[in-house]
A and B are shown apart, each in its own frame.
Chain A
Amino acid sequence: AQRVTQPEKLLSVFKGAPVELKCNYSYSGSPELFWYVQYSRQRLQLLLRHISRESIKGFTADLNKGETSFHLKKPFAQEEDSAMYYCALSGGSNYKLTFGKGTLLTVNP
């Protein structure tokens, strides 16, 4: 069974501070991990995927298979980063996404 856990419902940091949004997963095969973001009044959109190994808007995420984690990090948070962040896992023949419950990030001025 596929499972994604985001332990923090809410995360609040000050502008310029580092931020880390935690994500742990459970999957028997070789998973693909994603971070999706939903800004206020906007639709859910892809932020980054582990296979790309890229940095988007200053965010990075490393897949740690030993710890089954895919934490999202940014060294210096900006106010415009305030949003709902969802970690998601894709696996199986239909490539459906299994989502965590999300973390609401608030970056204070």
Chain B
Amino acid sequence: GAGVSQSPSNKVTEKGKDVELRCDPISGHTALYWYRQRLGQGLEFLIYFQGNSAPDKSGLPSDRFSAERTGESVSTLTIQRTQQEDSAVYLCASSLWAGPSNEQFFGPGTRLTVL
């Protein structure tokens, strides 16, 4: 079946502009995670959605970052007033539910470049 998809695959924007990144999880997966990977760094957790529960936003680096998810489907990550330090690959992952040893399946990522 189809895996996790993300769009766009690449995004170049100017400092100060807003960007929106999209994630389509695997159908039936209730848990969805966003991570960020800056050059030379490991992946950093940003935000987590589980079904209709309130999201865990503890990893969002600033109030310029927000994310939404409609039910158990598509999620969008929005970065307002982008800064150069926001340049990174943004990865989305989904799993059947958030639980022990549940495999997270990753999308291909969106490479964001802020000029």
Contacts and interface: CB of A to CB of B under 8 A. Distances in A.
Q: Do A and B bind each other?
A: yes
Interface string A43-62: 11110010110000000000
Given A45-B106, A94-B50, A99 B43 contact: yes
Given A99-B42, A101-B40, A94 B98 contact: yes
Nearest to B100: A32
Q: Number of contact residues on B: which range applies?
A: 20 to 34
Interface string A84-102: 0010001001111111111
A52 B103 CA distance: 12
B52 interface: no
Given A4-B42, A94-B48, A44 B98 contact: no
A43 B100 contact: no
A88 to B, nearest CB: 8
Interface residues of A, number: 21
A99 B102 CA distance: 16
Given A49-B101, A94-B98, A96-B48, A43 B42 contact: no
Contact of B43 (A32, A95, A97): A97
Nearest to B103: A46
Contacts of B109: 43
Contacts of A102: 42
Contacts of B44: 99
